[in-house]
Copies of this chain bind each other. A is one copy, B any other.
Amino acid sequence: MRYELYYQPSIQGRGEFVRLALEEGGADYVDVARDPKFGRPGIMKFLEDPSLEHPPFAPPFLRAGKLLISQTANILQFLAPRLALVPKSEAGRLWAHQLQLTIADWLYETGQTHHPIANVLYYEEQKDEAEKRAAHFISNRIPKFLGYFERILKLNPRGGDFVFGKKAAYVDLSLFQMIEGLRYAFPRTMAALEPQYPRLISLHDRVMTRPRIAAYLSSSRRLPFNEQGIFRHYPELED
């Protein structure tokens, strides 16, 4: 099946968590808004189509045959068994999804550091509040989330290479992306913290060198981080 991913064409954002799974799974997919044959009108048409029975609230969304699926973690939960990126057992899938939802919370909080008042305002209009929020995120929340995932890897009875042991799952790809994004947004913070979370950093490095991920990261399909996405580098937020 050819999957169609609908997401903003100029940022990694939430869509990147889906792109990483599609790439690692070797899926046949089109990144619609980045494909010259489709383009952004294709996304707006979907969101505004008044006859759509299952309209997404926001991108990303995925078309898979007749299904139209949105919410990043829901898309990943749907794709993962089809791309061999999650164990088959119900217990395994619930655990992966639980972790993915915790990553979603972490990602949401990351975006709030530069938009603590409203997404419709510019960063410059909420910079004072952003500095306050980012200070708490850096000192309390980043260590709490890193510590949680490090603990999970440490306790893993199947070994701590990945969340499920020796085989990578979609949640590992998402953890890689969180580390990458936080390094971009808060480089000094991450440089100082990382030595305390060796298993998580090792997981990140293992994901990055997997052949399909490495090929993707060095391709033009991987967009650079920038100050329109969720992970933004504003040096003043780290001071």
Contacts and interface: CB of A to CB of B under 8 A. Distances in A.
A189 interface: no
A9 to B, nearest CB: 23
A2 to B, nearest CB: 19
Interface residues of A, number: 44
Contacts of A177: none
Interface stretch (A34-42, A51-59, A192-200, A208-216): A51-59
Interface of A: 50-57, 66-67, 69-71, 73-74, 77-78, 91, 94-95, 97-98, 101-102, 105, 108, 112, 116-118, 120-121, 126, 129, 132-133, 136, 140, 148, 151-152, 155-157
A67 B53 contact: no
A78 B53 contact: no
A123 to B, nearest CB: 14
12 contacts: A50-B155, A51-B155, A53-B156, A55-B151, A55-B152, A70-B98, A71-B102, A77-B97, A117-B136, A118-B133, A121-B136, A129-B129
A127 to B, nearest CB: 12
B94 A69 contact: yes
B102 A120 contact: no
Contacts of A70: 98
Contacts of A155: 50-53, 55
